[in-house]
Chains A and B, each alone.
Chain A
Amino acid sequence: MSIPLDLKKNSWVWHVTLLSVVLGMLIAAALKTQQTFRIKSGILTTRIPALASALLEEKDRSQTLREEITGLRARIGEYEKALGEGGARAGLLSSELQRAKFLAGLLEARGEGIVVTLRDSKRRAPADAGPELLEQYIIHDFDIRNFVNELVASGAEAVAVNDQRIIANTPIRCVGGPIRVNDADMTPPYRIAAIGPPEVMESTLKMRGGLVDQFRIMEDLTDMVHIEKKKEVVVPTYSGSTQFKYAKPAEPEGEQKK
């Protein structure tokens, strides 16, 4: 059935069309705003229960941070006092402290190294792919762990994943969608920056039977890994909590409590 475009009779269509343009604009603006708002805030939902749990988590975190700040301030005061009393010994202590902090990952590190970028495959999985095959197309927490481990094993001295410094007790694990490193949730691409011997690290990753060679070997998804050697790699300091609740330093031997 076709209705003749009688302009006289159907003049309303033109009015409606005109305002439909405005309507389209309104919808686009609303959609765009919501999208940018979600991306910026990092909160992907506006549902109340999810927001409430996010809020509680943040409250918890800010509480710990506040406690940490208080502790750090007190410690600064102590140091300053010691500096006033010290002299040569204070200088020695301070340099020793810097060394220890560097070792612990509490100082920024720079040097030559490589950057490994892991991202989900851009390729489409075949239409009949089951969940097991589909999983091959995305980066998992164990992929990041494997790469970090291999980099450290081949001489990396400082490693960070998306600016999260890997320290002695850094967990890397899947938390549903994102992957959490230290306290930070991250989404692809995952940029693993490692300071160390670039040639050795690269060839370790790329050697036959190595991590890259074996990576998703069934599907040939080599676009998920990208390795780049760099003259200077910057690995930031560890920014998470440095508070210990359970572990306490043991008394060194021969130095009993008085």
Chain B
Amino acid sequence: MIVLLPLMGALVGFIVVYLVNVPVPADIASYLSLAALAGLDSVFGGIRAGIEDKFKADVFVSGFAVNTLLAASLAYLGDQIGLDLFLAAVVVLGGRVFLNLSLIRRHWLTRIALAKREP
């Protein structure tokens, strides 16, 4: 299962940072969480695109970088001008994560069904 590879990658990154103490000031903590959510969205989007054979490396990589930064800075801007853009980002990104996950799931289900039919 090639999908296990990204999972293992995420696990490695997680463990490395979790064991090393990275000091993050408390006031940017929530933006960091939002950036993590944006990253999650990008990775699932990438997996989906890969499965659908639409994957383009430049789109994916730039999307990851820009989305994480943009989500965090939009939320920051929202805080500055008194708008809860944080919530907007959470809703949009969360929705996309669910959408992508369901598409990935459907794809795998179709594949399994096909594999069963062939032999």
Contacts and interface: CB of A to CB of B under 8 A. Distances in A.
The A contact surface, by secondary structure, is helix
B61 A15 contact: yes
Contact of B47 (A1, A14, A16, A30): A16
B81 interface: no
Contacts of A5: 2
A28 interface: yes
A20 B115 contact: no
Interface string B1-28: 1110111111111111110011010100
Interface in B75-111: 111
A42 interface: no
Contact of B43 (A11, A16, A29): A16
Contact of A3 (B1, B33, B55, B60): B1
A19 B32 contact: no
B46 to A, nearest CB: 5
A27 B42 CA distance: 13
Contacts of B7: 20
A21 to B, nearest CB: 4
Interface residues of B, number: 43
A24 B11 contact: yes
B49 A12 contact: yes
A22 B14 CA distance: 8
A52 interface: no
Contact of B57 (A12, A25, A30, A32): A12
B38 to A, nearest CB: 9
A16 B32 contact: no
A198 to B, nearest CB: 40
A33 interface: yes
Given A13-B5, A20-B6, A20-B10, A25 B16 contact: yes
Contact of A19 (B8, B17, B46): B46
How many chain A residues sit at the interface, stated as a range, is 20 to 34
A17 interface: yes
B66 interface: no
Given A12-B55, A28-B15, A17 B5 contact: yes
Nearest to A24: B13
A15 B11 CA distance: 16
A27 B14 contact: yes
A31 B13 CA distance: 13
A130 B57 CA distance: 55
A47 to B, nearest CB: 14
Interface string A17-56: 1111111111111111110010000000000000000000
B46 A28 contact: no
Interface string B37-76: 0011011001101100001010011001000100000000
16 contacts: A14-B5, A15-B46, A16-B9, A19-B60, A20-B43, A21-B9, A21-B10, A21-B13, A22-B64, A24-B11, A24-B16, A27-B36, A27-B39, A28-B16, A29-B17, A33-B32
Q: 7 nearest interchain CB pairs? A: A24-B13, A12-B50, A24-B10, A24-B14, A12-B55, A28-B17, A20-B9
Given A32-B18, A33-B32, 5 more contacts: A1-B111, A13-B5, A17-B5, A23-B39, A24-B16
Interface of B: 1-3, 5-18, 21-22, 24, 26, 29, 32-33, 35-36, 39-40, 42-43, 46-47, 49-50, 55, 57, 60-61, 64, 68, 111-112, 115
Interface of A: 1-3, 5, 10-34, 37
